[in-house]
Structure 1
Amino acid sequence: MLDLAVTTRAETFERMADPLAARDIAVGHVDTSERAVSLTDDPFDDYDVGFVYPSRIMEGGVADALLDVPWVNDREAILRSRNKADVLARLGRAGVPVPETVMVSNPAGESELVAAFEQVGPPVVVKPNSTTRGVGVTTARDLDSFLGVADYLDLVHDYRATGDRSFLVQEYLPDARDYRAMVVDGEYVGAVERRLPTAARERGRWKHNVHRGAEAEGVDLSGELRELAERTAEVLDVPYLGVDLLATEDRAVVNETNARPTIDSATKYEDGFWDDLARLIRATCDRSRTA
Structure 2
Amino acid sequence: MLRLAVTTTAETFHRLREPLADRGIAAAHLQAKERAIPLTDDAVAATPAADDDTAVTEFDVGLVYPGRLMEGAAITAGLDIPWVNGREAVLTSRNKSGVLAALDAADIPVPHSVMLSNPVAESAVVDAVAELSFPVVVKPNSATRGVGVAKASDIDSLLGVVDYLDLIHDFRATGDKSYLIQEYLPDARDYRAMVIDGDCVGGVQRRLPDDLAEGRWKHNVHRGAEATGVDLPDAHRQRAERAAATLDIPYLGVDLLATDERLVVNETNARPTIDTADKYDDGFYDRLAERIRETAENRS
Q: TM-score, normalised by structure 2?
A: 0.94
**Structure 1 Cα separation of the partners of residues 206 and 150 of structure 2:** 18
Distance 1:107 1:205 in 2: 31
For 2:28 and 2:164, how far apart are their aligned partners in 1? 42
1:119-172, Cα deviation, whole Å (9 max, x unpaired)? 222110000000000000000010111111111111111111011010000000
Q: Report deviation, 1:116.
A: 1.2
Letter of the 1:38 counterpart: P
Distance in 2 of aligned mates of 1:135 and 1:10: 18
Which residue of structure 1 lines up, in the alignment, with residue 27 of structure 2?
A: 27
Matching residue within 227, 235, 251 for 1:224? 235
Task: Check if 1:241 corresponds to 2:252.
Answer: yes
Q: Distance in 2 between matches of 1:284 and 1:36?
A: 28
Partner in structure 2 of residue 128 of structure 1: 140
Equivalent residue, structure 2, for 1:214: 225
- Equivalent residue of 1:91, what SS? helix
**1:74 equivalent among 82, 86, 89:** 86
The structure with the largest helix share of the pair is 1
Contact 1:120 1:169 in 2 (8 A): no
2:63 aligned counterpart, secondary structure: strand
The aligned residue for residue 3 of structure 2 is 3
Q: Secondary structure at the match of 1:224?
A: helix
Q: Is the 8 A contact 1:126 1:139 kept in 2?
A: yes
Provide the rounded CA distance (Å) in 1 between the counterparts of 2:128 and 2:78: 45
Give secondary structure in 1 for the equivalent of 2:67: coil
Query: Given that residues 102 and 120 in structure 1 are in contact (C-alpha distance below 8 angstroms), is that contact kept between their aligned partners in structure 2?
Result: no
CA offset at residue 5 of structure 1?
0.8
* Alignment partner, residue 53 of structure 2: none
- 2:113 matched to 1:114? no
Q: Which runs of 5+ in 1 are unaligned?
A: none
Amino acid at match of 2:4: L
Once the two structures are TM-superposed, the CA of residue 35 in structure 1 deviates from its matched residue by: 1.1
Contact 2:196 2:287 in 1 (8 A): yes
Are residues 1:261 and 2:272 paired?
Answer: yes
Structure 2 unaligned runs (5+)?
Answer: 47-56
Between the aligned residues of both structures, percent identity stands at 64
CA contact (8 A) 2:206 2:219 kept: yes
Counterpart CA distance in 1 for 2:212 and 2:217 is: 8
Q: How many residues align?
A: 288
Where has structure 1 moved over 2 Å in runs of 4 or more? none
